[in-house]
Structure 1
Amino acid sequence: MLFHSLYSPDSRLYLVQTLVELSGPFDEAAFAEAWRQVARRHPALRTAFVWEGIDRPVQVVYDAVDTPVVTEDWRDAAPDGQRKRMARFFAADRERGLDLQVAPLMRVTAIRVGEDRWSCVWTHHHLVVDGWSENVVLREVRELHEALRTGRSADLPETRPFADYLQWLQARDGEGEREFWRRRLAGFPAATPIAADRRASGPARREAIRTLHLSPAEAADLREFARRHRLTTSSVLQAVWALLLGRWSGEEDVVFGATVAGRPAELPGIERMVGAFVNTLPVRVALGPGATVLELLRAVQAESVELREHEHVSLSRIREWSELAPGQPLFESIVIVESHPALGLEAPADGGLRLDKRGADLDMGSPLVFLVRPRGEALGLSLLSDPRCFEPATIERMAGQVRPLLAAVLASPDQRLEDLWPGPDAGQAELLSAWNRTARRFSERDGWVHEWLGARAAAQPDGEAVAAGDGRLTYRELYERASRLANHLRRRGAGPETRIGICMERSADLLVAVYGVLLCGAAYVPLDPAHPAERLAFLHRDSGAALVLTTSRLLERLPEAARTAARASRSVPATSPT
């Protein structure tokens, strides 16, 4: 979190804005003092970070800090004007940000919107307070406010410092954790691709939100289904996301991120501690044919239980232990199912101040987030997307598939996964029919395919041309690599009337090979590496391919004559097929 925040300081990544509606008897001085006392109780609320001039960043706890609590009065504005003013306030507050080197990493603004109604905006950084801790803090603020307002003493339990958790964390078996995560992610070389409309560099910026609402009756059906099959609601929703991700990516082995509370039950008083315990872990789900919905649900549940024993490892460390190339993300989507204890102060029995937490606005640093939040007895299912990557229509189509997929899971637990999906929705019908109607009249006046590539590379050099599991290429990169290969092939005698075999798996290099052959004036002969050796030998012999482009890994699969032709194609320029 700290690395991402420093890497992109202008993105306001992990800056949290929590809105709490207050009603009932309210004392401004008591409210401000309550926040100060809560900060004195919890060291995490008095911390900042230092990283300059030292080997490793450290979190520094200060003995005392000035907790800023500001009050404003908006009673002169009509309700519609107050809503617009609040939107502007949130935008300006986010733009203001927080300096990670200055404690405290939070501020509070209490805005009077009615005679006995206030809106409290608590801005803080996710590095020091997670969602569970938010509710701990707000409960204590309310209790202290009531005690100060009425002149009685507050009856608050003793707290444990966040440092106790850090000491517990340091005592864990690091070698055992490394072996577990290496086994868990073995054979997974790249993040599950999402069918994004475009790619963006740098940390994600979440701005677009599309929310579905499950009614109290629908949410009750979900909980009853989970109870009947001895599952958690979270496991069911994670399985639904895995199915959706599999459909959009075309993969049968998918990985997404999932948040966990990260609070070890064996540490006494952990439920009252304040700090950043929450962690995001990679969840790997197999969607192979033949499995039933219930088998998938139980597999996801078993995965969740197993991960509980290994949920305290940082995501950066897990990435180091995986087979991904350095700098590559483990996943491109995150599932968040909020399950921390409810605030429970919406209707206090003592008739004092009521607190109604309306939600928290937070950027999670992922292009796509599936967020599940309780809404009383109902549930809100939201897709939070980076608008640099997804068009609104894409998110609308994806969101439109969540409810029918969830309904199909609940209705047909014994159905096979490949038979689960209901009939194509409007978006899928468009994908299958309209988007595949690519036929067009063609003549020599239109030019050739490789000429189109050159024209596009000149007109849109930095546009994304290829997205594959082994990397991405812009039009300029694709054209330059194909041109280098074409020059090499010409030096090997290739040209018009020459036939060149291509035996490669689906990858960016495969497209480089195809365009390279076309650019040198030759014709390419596809040699599918999945075919039997006899079939490859016939195709190579019958086509008369003088050269063969392949990879070192596939070379031994080719028949002897084709291997000889492949060796004759060696010494291809760097980053091109060999």
Structure 2
Amino acid sequence: MVLSKESRKNKNIESLYPLSPMQGGLLFHTLYAPDSGVYIEQILLTFTDNLNADALKHSWQKIVQRHGALRTLFVWEDLEEPVQMVKKEVDLPWGYLDWQELSSTEQQQKLEAFLREDREKGFQLNQAPLMRCTLIRLENQSYKFIWSFHHILIDGWCFPIIIKEVLSYYESCNQGHRCNLLPVRPYQDYILWLQQQNQEEAEKFWRQSLQGFTHPTPLVVEKPQQQRLRHSSSYQEQQIALAQTTTKALQSLVREQHLTMATLVQAAWALLLSRYSGESEVLFGVGISGRPANLLGVEKMVGLFMNTLPLRVEVPSQAELIPWLQQLNQKQLQLQEYSYSPLVEIQQLSEIPAGVALFQSILAFENYPDISWEQWNSSLKIVKIDGLSQTNYPLSVLTGVINENLFLKISYDTSRFEAETIARMLGHLQTLLEAMVANSNIELGQLPLMTKVELDQTLVEWNDTTTDYPTDKCIHQLFEEQVQKNPNAIAVVFEEQKLTYSELNSKANQLAHYLQKFGVKPDVLVGICVERSVEMIVGLLAILKAGGAYVPLDPNYPPSRLNYMVEDAQLSVVITQQQGLSHLPETIASVICLDTDEKIISQQNQENVENKVTASNLAYLIYTSGSTGKPKGVSIPHQGVVRLVCNTNYVQLEATDRVAQVSNSSFDAATFEIWGALLNGAMVVVMSQSMLLSPPEFYNCIREKEISTLFLTTALFNQLAYSEPEIFSSLKNLLFGGEAVDARAVKKVLENRPPERLLHLYGPTENTTYSTWYRVTEVAEGAINIPIGKPISNTQVHILDSNLQPVPIGVIGELHIGGDGLAIGYHNRPELTAEKFISNPFDN
């Protein structure tokens, strides 16, 4: 260590000594961001009654003279290691403002501006003192006192010590007496104690504690990166207080189980981080007092003793609460043994990459002495104490007990968190703490996180999708009602072919009667391997009228896939055409060729067919893509389809609509296209595969056929949006979905004569085609995706964690879908059905 001759000769130097670990960290962060206001502390005291301003100023000057830590500056330039220098004497900067002439509103505005400017002013760390005081007179007997200082000098433990001593000096000065306070040990004694500790043992402890932890626990609920870049950092605080009854219950639990209140709050924070991140092991910073019990008189010393240390917590969902709390308590005690370790050195011992912060949040429990200022005996009445602070962490949790209430305060970077997010977070902490005392024999995974208001919003309000629709009717019955209403309306068109509702009904009836001769009845599976055409529509409808359930077999599928589907479905009947016979595998099923068997089919009865099918019977079996293994057959009942297309909230189809049938029948979007039209008296316009591959032809067809409603897979939507964004301008409803969305493609469509309604649909096959919908009216700047929106009618959607607990807004979870569209299960896969189709935990 080398200091200039001038510094060494300066007679105003009382002592020179190294920094504590925490001071070293604060010095680094302050020099790194000198204008950020980081670690500037502001304490606001509200005084009432007569106040002797001169006596108050004198008292504070005496406090500065009493404690060397308050006369300290820091020197680092041209030194191998920074040092702190204690001046023998300093003049405390003191300001006085009189705002008596201002209204209360103006006073509040000026106070907020003053605090902001005072924070921005900061402190020069190489100039003592690193604190200042301002007294503001609001009324005749009302004052605001602002004590600003840099956190590098002192910690929160010192606050009640200093305030009590100020009041003692003030009382003596007011009465003309001498104030004789007991001497206190200087902060330098603590620095000497630090130098005597076993650093090798501490290094071994921290290396073992952090072994295998390779990335910081994410906070998850932050603003998107694009939003953060548009705002500079500034800090706000939010605070709540738990009821006295809850606080007393927590204190009772602490006494019974030999815990600490700090452990309970740390436990709640660990649980919150685990639920937010989805990780079973979390890491966050904890503030500890750092005052060693074996340093005599340490509880009265003034200086920065606290340290921030990493706390690694396993959160196994099956663990019982009390044993887990006791383990956490032991871990906290272990931490105390090595509380002198510098965080920067601990970081280097971890496996987290250099340049990445060890943790994103810190939690400090204020367990300070004599915090109840109302009980302090003084003629100077303090009626309110407020504190403003800012760390270099995006989120800090401060907690403690004041006046028999446990308070929870969160300081957060507004460029990274919304105020609503922090308010919810405080509510989640409160819910967890209340649940701990409500049922201490609970497993961790069963502890509730969300408030009653949130649960009501997510479980009830957002899932209030019930609408009236014909729950007791089958697909073919509703089609027959449309035949009765308007028999001569065109039902289906393909190229030059067209059939009215009456004609379609008659043809389907004839085929249905014929199918019944092959034993087709409720829940009997019938394969249909027919290219998109009018005949395909007739075949699907006929199978349902006969009482069976159709299994679409795409003629263009590889033979191996078709063979698997035919065998897995154990088809007894397959409908096809002569040209499709070559695609079908050898099968024991009866094969009906629509073209070669046309003569015999046309001789069948044209009247509606009688069957015993109900809405709960199978309507179709459709196979998934098999991208994650073998294709799975999903069994869909009639009710699922009826709920999809009748009296829904996402689209209102009418008899005047013309719905394009673009999707292959093996793709479940065809369910919407075909039955959405035919069950609402509209027209199905079947489009050939070749037309879809030619944007000009496709565009002409949309215009010529006056298509009003069209569904496209996201891939095809993206392709057309970039090549022909105006192609959709004449549509009433354009629906798209099925894959990840390109937000730029959506934006392009919106900017180029968009359709009347642009809808983003999402849903797995297992919930009958669509589950959620979102009407797109704009795309936010920089957006990389489009929301999937809200549930469609008679559908419930929940985002749950691994314990089937609802997750809060902004937290990642697994999508669980229920309601009337749910499939019966997977065909011939009872184990998979039992795994994926679970009972709804929120039915009651």
- Look up the match of 1:250: 278
Change (3 A) 1:366 1:429: farther
Change (3 A) 1:454 1:142: same
- Look up the match of 2:492: none
3-state SS in 1 of match to 2:374: coil
- Look up the match of 1:198: 224
User: In the alignment, does 2:691 pair up with 1:420?
Assistant: no
> Are the aligned partners of 1:345 and 1:354 in contact in 2 as well (CA < 8 Å)?
no
CA drift at 1:450: 9.8
Change (3 A) 1:344 1:390: closer
Change (3 A) 1:71 1:179: same
Counterpart CA distance in 1 for 2:125 and 2:331 is 35
State how many pairs are aligned: 458
3-state SS in 2 of match to 1:334: strand
Change (3 A) 1:173 1:332: same
3-state SS in 2 of match to 1:113: strand
Of 79-88 and 133-142, deviating more is 79-88
CA drift at 1:255: 0.8
Larger Rg over CA atoms: 2
Of 403-412 and 441-450, deviating more is 441-450
Q: Which one of the candidate residues 358, 372, 382 is aligned to 1:355?
A: 382
Deviation sequence 1:261-281 (CA, Å, 0-9, x none): 111121112122111111111
Counterpart CA distance in 1 for 2:147 and 2:453 is 42
Counterpart CA distance in 1 for 2:375 and 2:140 is 19
3-state SS in 1 of match to 2:406: strand
Q: Which one of the candidate residues 301, 311, 325 is aligned to 2:329?
A: 301
Counterpart CA distance in 2 for 1:204 and 1:283 is 30
> Are the aligned partners of 2:289 and 2:306 in contact in 1 as well (CA < 8 Å)?
yes
**Percent identity for Structure 1 against Structure 2:** 33
- Look up the match of 2:107: 82
CA drift at 1:292: 0.5
Counterpart CA distance in 2 for 1:286 and 1:305 is 16
Counterpart CA distance in 1 for 2:418 and 2:448 is 24
User: In the alignment, does 2:227 pair up with 1:227?
Assistant: no
Of 323-332 and 10-19, deviating more is 323-332
> Are the aligned partners of 2:429 and 2:449 in contact in 1 as well (CA < 8 Å)?
no
User: In the alignment, does 2:391 pair up with 1:364?
Assistant: yes
- Look up the match of 2:148: 123
> Are the aligned partners of 2:92 and 2:129 in contact in 1 as well (CA < 8 Å)?
yes
CA drift at 1:323: 1.2
User: In the alignment, does 2:86 pair up with 1:58?
Assistant: no
> Are the aligned partners of 1:204 and 1:367 in contact in 2 as well (CA < 8 Å)?
no
User: In the alignment, does 2:22 pair up with 1:22?
Assistant: no
3-state SS in 1 of match to 2:85: strand
Change (3 A) 1:208 1:446: farther
TM-score by length of 2: 0.51
- Look up the match of 1:447: 718
Change (3 A) 1:24 1:156: farther
Matches within 5 A, 1:433-512: 441-447=712-718, 452=742
Change (3 A) 1:111 1:451: closer
Structure 1: gaps of 5 or more residues: 457-475, 479-578
> Are the aligned partners of 2:372 and 2:402 in contact in 1 as well (CA < 8 Å)?
no
3-state SS in 1 of match to 2:352: coil
Change (3 A) 1:430 1:206: farther
> Are the aligned partners of 2:428 and 2:450 in contact in 1 as well (CA < 8 Å)?
no
User: In the alignment, does 2:379 pair up with 1:379?
Assistant: no
> Are the aligned partners of 2:96 and 2:135 in contact in 1 as well (CA < 8 Å)?
yes
Counterpart CA distance in 2 for 1:423 and 1:212 is 16
Change (3 A) 1:245 1:137: same
Matches within 5 A, 1:188-337: 188-195=213-220, 196-199=222-225, 205=233, 207-337=235-365
3-state SS in 2 of match to 1:9: coil
Counterpart CA distance in 2 for 1:92 and 1:360 is 16
- Look up the match of 1:184: 209
> Are the aligned partners of 1:197 and 1:390 in contact in 2 as well (CA < 8 Å)?
yes
Counterpart CA distance in 2 for 1:371 and 1:150 is 38
Deviation sequence 1:134-168 (CA, Å, 0-9, x none): 22222111111221221111020101111110000
Counterpart CA distance in 1 for 2:28 and 2:450 is 44
CA drift at 1:388: 1.5
- Look up the match of 1:340: 368
CA drift at 1:420: 2.4
Higher relative contact order (CA 8 A, sep 6+): 1
Counterpart CA distance in 2 for 1:27 and 1:248 is 52
3-state SS in 2 of match to 1:139: helix
Structure 2: gaps of 5 or more residues: 1-25, 464-668, 670-710, 720-738, 747-781, 785-844
2:224 maps to a residue whose letter is R
3-state SS in 1 of match to 2:713: coil
3-state SS in 2 of match to 1:128: coil
Q: Which one of the candidate residues 98, 104, 112 is aligned to 2:129?
A: 104
3-state SS in 1 of match to 2:359: coil
Counterpart CA distance in 1 for 2:212 and 2:740 is 35
> Are the aligned partners of 1:198 and 1:388 in contact in 2 as well (CA < 8 Å)?
no
3-state SS in 2 of match to 1:5: helix
